[in-house]
Structure 1
């Protein structure tokens, strides 16, 4: 694909990822609650969801995505419910001198939370099934172009997602006292609950 199209796509996608939404709120909350490593599965789950929608758009499956709209509604509500569960775990956690993330939280569960969040995120749906076709000539897609665009999606989302997670984890490291960690837990819980609300109410 020509460099100009790739550059335009990179810019449009970077802006879409940078703009705060449910994904950013969830990643920041996870990093505040469990540090940078705790947020990594969330970022990877969001990336997996983005790649699914990217494939939908590239291979002409937008109609399929629209046809199975009710399925994505269920996914949206299930993802929001799980984010609320994580928010409750943060809010009720009793921080010690070690990590403040909920001990029962497993990486694969965090990954699935990020994936379901993306699959039910209206902003993601609009970008891939609405904006992407206006930026990239999907009718001229080749194997090389698909690889190039996929690489852009992976690199941009990981850089920005991990950037948000790193900044939030650095802020977390500034709080050392149990009282401060408790407040940080509650802040993470509120942000996770906010992410759940955005997933449900964004249209």
Structure 2
């Protein structure tokens, strides 16, 4: 394994995951409402989508990446709709009562939701197209082994961030009252909806 390539993947994965956006808010809300594992699983969904886009760009799959960029307005519109729905659901979600176990919630649903939202965001692939040359990563004609090493680094870097973030936030859950959890859900839901509305406004203006 090329340690340098793997390390670059980790750095880029962290760089992509750290900025706070609607998906970060969703993962944080799930970590607070359902426990740290729900937030981490949601974050792994984000890391999966990021890794998929990293593979597409690294291998130089110009047909796929070109199609995504060409139809980016459609993908962004879909992402807006999903954000509206998720934000509304988060806003209306009542904190579970003490007698209910967070594990009763679906981890698979947590994972698939964030995968779908992340894949519907074509800006991710533009991020990779811009940042890979800056890191000196040469991806045209690269082998599948090199691609696997780089993508594994991106995945590990992203997952590492979500473990740190959601693990830290989830540890505060036991100290929050039901009213505080409800307020967190409402604030998170409103912010997610507002970000979706902002994305929609940019689409309409363009």
Query: Which runs of no fewer than 5 residues in structure 2 stay unpaired?
Result: none
Is 1:18–1:160's contact at 8 Å kept on the other side of the alignment? Answer: yes
How far, CA to CA, are the matches of 1:151 and 1:7 in structure 2?
10
Deviation track 1:163-197 (CA, whole Å, cap 9, x = no partner) reads: 22122222333213x32232222233234335534
Structure 1 residues 13 and 19, CA gap change in structure 2 (3 angstroms): same
Q: CA deviation at 1:30?
A: 2.3
In the alignment, what sits opposite 1:180?
Answer: 180
Deviation track 1:32-57 (CA, whole Å, cap 9, x = no partner) reads: 33221222332122122112211211
How far, CA to CA, are the matches of 1:99 and 1:65 in structure 2?
48
In the alignment, what sits opposite 2:113?
Answer: 113
How far, CA to CA, are the matches of 1:158 and 1:151 in structure 2?
10
Q: CA deviation at 1:144?
A: 3.5
In the alignment, what sits opposite 2:124?
Answer: 124
TM-score by length of 1: 0.77
Segment drifting more, 130-139 vs 42-51: 130-139
In the alignment, what sits opposite 2:51?
Answer: 51
> SS of the counterpart of 2:95?
coil
Segment drifting more, 112-121 vs 42-51: 112-121
In the alignment, what sits opposite 2:76?
Answer: 76
In the alignment, what sits opposite 2:164?
Answer: 163
In the alignment, what sits opposite 1:141?
Answer: 142
TM-score by length of 2: 0.76
Is 1:22–1:117's contact at 8 Å kept on the other side of the alignment? Answer: no
Q: What is the aligned residue count?
A: 202
Query: Which runs of no fewer than 5 residues in structure 1 stay unpaired?
Result: none
Is 1:72–1:119's contact at 8 Å kept on the other side of the alignment? Answer: no
RMSD, aligned α-carbons: 3.4
